[in-house]
Amino acid sequence: MRVMSGVPEAFATGLFPEISRYRHKVFIEQLGWDLDTQNGMELDQFDRPDTVYVVAQDEEDNVTGCARLLPTTHPYLLGDVFPQLLNGLVPPSSPDVWELSRFAAVDFSNQTTSALSQFSSEIAVGLLRESIACAARHGAKRIITVSPLGVERLLRKAGFHAHRAGPPMVIDGHAIFACWIEVDQ
């Protein structure tokens, strides 16, 4: 597995559209989330030129995982769309706090993984570690994430200290929650 990170402009031509198509396959086609799409790509208002992405690829350059990192000093998913997951807390806005979202680790060339069981794979653990390290390189001391419940198990498996920001909520038929992750400096 090869993992790289950066803003869209930093990636080789064609990789960012490939990430967007991969997200469409995972979140729209497999998980059935009701998200905005554009020509087979899953993109929303938080996919900006300054958004940081972490992407995993296999030896044939197929995307096998991705994650999105947003500073909380700019608009971000939890603060703008799901503030109710914060249990009454005002959404954070600090250069020390980054948001992790759109985390996926489904290897479509490997039939043993699926979107529903993706969080137990080695790709998921490696991608999560690299995502948190990437956020730390951008100044994050804490990460807030809005994710499916399965991410909690992944965080524990990967050895991270995390705790919930509030109770899970079932939104559009999917149980999601917000979670704080401590970043070791």
The binding site for other proteins (CB under 8 A) comprises 86-89, 114, 116-117, 120, 142, 149, 152-153, 156, 161, 163-168, 170, 175, 177, 180
* Cβ closest to other proteins, residue 61 vs residue 122: 122
The partner residues of 6 in beta bridges, in order of sequence, read 53
Residue closer to other proteins (CB basis): 110 or 117: 117
Neighbours of 48 (CB within 10 A): 12
Minimum separation from the CB atom of position 12 to other proteins (A): 34
CB of 158 to other proteins, least distance (A): 14
Instruction: Indicate the Cα dihedral angle 74, 160, 64, 99, nearest 10°.
Output: -10
Of the two residues 10 and 89, which places its CB atom closer to other proteins in the complex?
89
**Nearest to other proteins of 12, 170 (CB atom):** 170
**How far is the CA of 156 from the CAs of 22, 147, 151, in angstroms?**
26, 14, 9
Q: How far is the CB of 3 from other proteins (least distance, A)?
A: 25
For residue 178, give the H/E element and its range.
strand 174-182
Cα 122 to chain centroid distance, Å, stands at 16
CB of 92 to other proteins, least distance (A): 8
Smallest Cα–Cα separation from 123: which of 62, 48, 45, 33? 62
CB of 176 to other proteins, least distance (A): 12
Q: Considering the complex, state which of residue 19 and residue 85 has its C-beta at the smaller distance from other proteins.
A: 85
Residue partners of 61: CB distance under 8 A and separation at least 6: none
